[in-house]
Chain A
């Protein structure tokens, strides 16, 4: 593996972590939006909120990690992507503002009527943001981003069949991950009604995500032939098969209420799709335009990025492990104490 590919691997690592961790946080928006009203809906929202609360900011930082490695390691490709795909990426950025602030505000100080608009804002922005990010990835993967300052089509680069299907897959996989993770959290907390609610949602969204991924292959065959050929070629096909196998296995695990292993299986299914895309377009960074090697920054910078990563990992890995250990062992608060209404019981026991 060359230096450029090592830094590229960091990029893929960051994207994977963002997809399986941050993606699930976005996915809760689907369940928030469809929860409806009433005490049952409040419990669904509260479970999502208490699961996300301590981890969403850390999960979100993976996106920053991806951006930073992208522009430092592959500056020309970064400038090309950001300028051509400025519309979906700007909309995703606006969605990130609304999602994060709506979540933080309602978590700290919103109860009663003040919650409703924040719930709606949180849910809508949680659905639109991954869609636009997926659409941007679809634009890259289908070779619609040329090298240059806003050199590609500002509209067709992200309003096209591949972008649409990748955006839909991004939303669906997030919802699926969220349902599986939330079912596991509810099971750990012994909330039987929520376990069943998220189990049903997990089975449904898993089936939808799988169908979209398979249907997506047909779309790619028509719209992005080189990518399709890469996916059904040797290494790509293995990952597609791995994703399908992990997806089916996860559905079986969810069916049997083995949520712990299902968590891992669901994440593996999503990660394998992502890696399939990476392998399919290798060695290109922007398909048909520029390879990873051509796009890479100068050698001292690549070395510096790798050294910074190793040094950072020394801090990051134990810190993340500590956070997730505390969360999974229920050593942190379920939710912040509600404000202003003493004695008010939260929707969770």
Chain B
């Protein structure tokens, strides 16, 4: 990978758009904001498409195994929320497909045939997910129990496969392979090489685990809130335990995957890593600086930990880490945005791993979840915090890619549309997404408040108080 990026970057300024080269676009920033808004909205919903089906299916599996109607009630309730979230994911995902062309026609025209196959495969995953989510949700009580459970499995597989293919495209944008540039023209396209680019596996794994963290902590947070409000029956307890356990098992692993990801970034995109850390100059024995602010080539008011960055990236405290100075200023991303996002992600990720460790340790020693109110308050906060960490991570990788849309090959200003009216479209989209957010929140709240008898005959017996201890 590294030997390939060198000749590509040498050719970078010659990459010519297939539609005839860059246009003057006064609203590049708004176009980027528009794409960011749609993607940021979608990526949170996607977590539920990727991870939630597995959690729902686990609950249904528990029902099949134990025959306890409690699990069936949970699975049914969750499957309705899953359907709503999938529906808004369908529409917000469609917007993204449109926007790729509407906002970045030069990017699509020049490179659509290089990375497009990943999207074609994603399309089939999407199809499969849409088909089986309908069968699953509308099939409750109508299909034989085991058949119904089995129809949930394609949802899980398709959700994961779909995210894999989308991440493949994003990985390719960060680590473009599978084509040659001759006089700025894309030639000798090798779609499979683009599909399985060097960034695919770590980005996918990182995102996949993040999806389980966001979905698990968010769902658990609903029940933690109920616990704090005194609803501590078996139903709420089981809802909390299933969702929180999933997230708690994943969170510590995410730290290891995050380390893997950072080292891959150091190898493939050293300028991006320098932006993560605010490393102005190429340094041997580079320190890792916590907090602070990047100004004029260095981090001010931060807490430096000597040699840690070299140790983390190269496993050698004296190793040389490339700084932002390896490329001219116009090729550097906005350091503070990237760095702040990165630190937010790492900070929240660490806190969530600690919370998970508390939970797992209590479970290990006492065979029960923690009983402290502070634990449940933290669990309520964990869902939104996981979403903030997810968005921060995504800002880290996407803003860290700037000014490139295709890393070191095509700049965003070369890719943008020549069409006017972008601020109008942006304003409309902000209003639309605000309405969608309010609507989705309203519907999920309504769903959460509807009585349990909608799901299960005789469900009132589930709302039995836990015996006092």
Interface on A for B, CB 8 Å cutoff? 53-55, 57-58, 60-61, 63-65, 67-69, 71-73, 75-76, 78-84, 86-87, 89-90, 92-94, 96-101, 103-105, 108-110, 147-151, 154, 297-298, 300-301, 304-305, 308-309, 311-312, 315-316, 319-320, 322-323, 326, 331-333, 336-340, 342
Write the nearest CB–CB distance from A16 to chain B, whole angstroms: 16
> Which of B105, B110, B143 has the most A CB atoms < 10 Å from its CB?
B105
Contact B139 A300 (CB under 8 A): no
Q: A64-B97, A96-B91, A319-B128 are in contact. Are A109 and B446 (CB under 8 A)?
A: yes
Contact B135 A333 (CB under 8 A): no
Q: A97-B92, A308-B117, A322-B135 are in contact. Are A340 and B100 (CB under 8 A)?
A: no
Measured between alpha carbons, how far is A71 from B102 in the docked complex, in Å? 12
Q: Which residue of B130, B428, B446 is within 8 Å of A340 (Cβ)?
A: B446
Measured between alpha carbons, how far is A331 from B148 in the docked complex, in Å? 12
Q: A78-B109, A79-B109, A305-B117 are in contact. Are A86 and B142 (CB under 8 A)?
A: no
Q: A300-B190, A312-B124 are in contact. Are A326 and B112 (CB under 8 A)?
A: no
Return chain B residues, CB-CB under 8 Å to A55.
Answer: 134
Nearest B residue (CB) for A80: B19
B29 at the interface (CB under 8 A from A): no
Q: A58-B130, A61-B127 are in contact. Are A72 and B113 (CB under 8 A)?
A: yes
7 closest A-B pairs by beta carbon, nearest first, are A72-B116, A82-B101, A79-B109, A75-B112, A297-B113, A104-B87, A312-B124
Contact B98 A150 (CB under 8 A): no
Contact B138 A53 (CB under 8 A): yes
Measured between alpha carbons, how far is A298 from B189 in the docked complex, in Å? 7
Measured between alpha carbons, how far is A54 from B132 in the docked complex, in Å? 9
Measured between alpha carbons, how far is A94 from B106 in the docked complex, in Å? 22
B18 at the interface (CB under 8 A from A): yes
Contact B447 A109 (CB under 8 A): yes
Measured between alpha carbons, how far is A340 from B443 in the docked complex, in Å? 12
Contact A96 B94 (CB under 8 A): yes
Q: Which residue of B142, B188, B191, B417 is within 8 Å of A304 (Cβ)?
A: B191
Contact A71 B116 (CB under 8 A): yes
CB pairs A–B below 8 angstroms (20 shown): A54-B134, A58-B131, A73-B116, A75-B110, A76-B19, A82-B417, A83-B102, A90-B425, A93-B99, A94-B429, A103-B87, A149-B23, A151-B20, A301-B113, A301-B114, A319-B154, A326-B135, A332-B139, A337-B454, A340-B446
Return chain A residues, CB-CB under 8 Å to B249.
Answer: none
Measured between alpha carbons, how far is A255 from B347 in the docked complex, in Å? 68
How many residues does chain B have at the interface if contact means C-beta atoms less than 8 Å apart? 84
Having A101-B440, A105-B439, one finds 6 other A-B pairs with CB under 8 Å, namely A61-B123, A71-B108, A78-B108, A79-B109, A301-B191, A332-B142
Write the nearest CB–CB distance from A9 to chain B, whole angstroms: 15
Measured between alpha carbons, how far is A311 from B192 in the docked complex, in Å? 15
Measured between alpha carbons, how far is A94 from B83 in the docked complex, in Å? 21
Contact A58 B421 (CB under 8 A): no
Q: A108-B447, A319-B127, A319-B131 are in contact. Are A297 and B189 (CB under 8 A)?
A: yes
Q: A68-B123, A297-B116 are in contact. Are A319 and B138 (CB under 8 A)?
A: no
Measured between alpha carbons, how far is A305 from B195 in the docked complex, in Å? 12
Q: Which residue of B97, B101, B120 is within 8 Å of A81 (Cβ)?
A: B101
Return chain A residues, CB-CB under 8 Å to B436.
Answer: 97, 101
Nearest A residue (CB) for B86: A57
Q: A75-B113, A86-B421, A300-B190 are in contact. Are A308 and B120 (CB under 8 A)?
A: yes
Contact A316 B128 (CB under 8 A): yes
- Render B424-446 as a binary contact track against A, CB cut-off 8 A, 1 for contact: 01001100100010011011001
Measured between alpha carbons, how far is A68 from B94 in the docked complex, in Å? 11
Q: A58-B130, A108-B83, A333-B140 are in contact. Are A97 and B101 (CB under 8 A)?
A: no
Contact A148 B20 (CB under 8 A): yes
Nearest B residue (CB) for A301: B113
B418 at the interface (CB under 8 A from A): yes
Residues 215-236 (chain B) with a chain A CB within 8 angstroms: none
Return chain A residues, CB-CB under 8 Å to B143.
Answer: 326, 331
Q: A61-B127, A64-B126, A71-B119 are in contact. Are A339 and B109 (CB under 8 A)?
A: no
B90 at the interface (CB under 8 A from A): yes
Contact A336 B137 (CB under 8 A): yes
Return chain B residues, CB-CB under 8 Å to A301.
Answer: 113-114, 116-117, 189, 191
Write the nearest CB–CB distance from B58 to chain A, whole angstroms: 22
Q: Which residue of A54, A75, A98 is within 8 Å of B109 (Cβ)?
A: A75
Write the nearest CB–CB distance from B396 to chain A, whole angstroms: 27
Return chain B residues, CB-CB under 8 Å to A151.
Answer: 19-20, 418
B95 at the interface (CB under 8 A from A): yes
- Render B181-199 as a binary contact track against A, CB cut-off 8 A, 1 for contact: 0000001111110000000
B453 at the interface (CB under 8 A from A): yes
B84 at the interface (CB under 8 A from A): yes
Contact B17 A149 (CB under 8 A): yes
Q: A54-B138, A60-B90, A101-B91 are in contact. Are A312 and B121 (CB under 8 A)?
A: yes
Measured between alpha carbons, how far is A301 from B189 in the docked complex, in Å? 7
B133 at the interface (CB under 8 A from A): yes
Q: Which residue of A76, A101, A147, A323 is within 8 Å of B134 (Cβ)?
A: A323
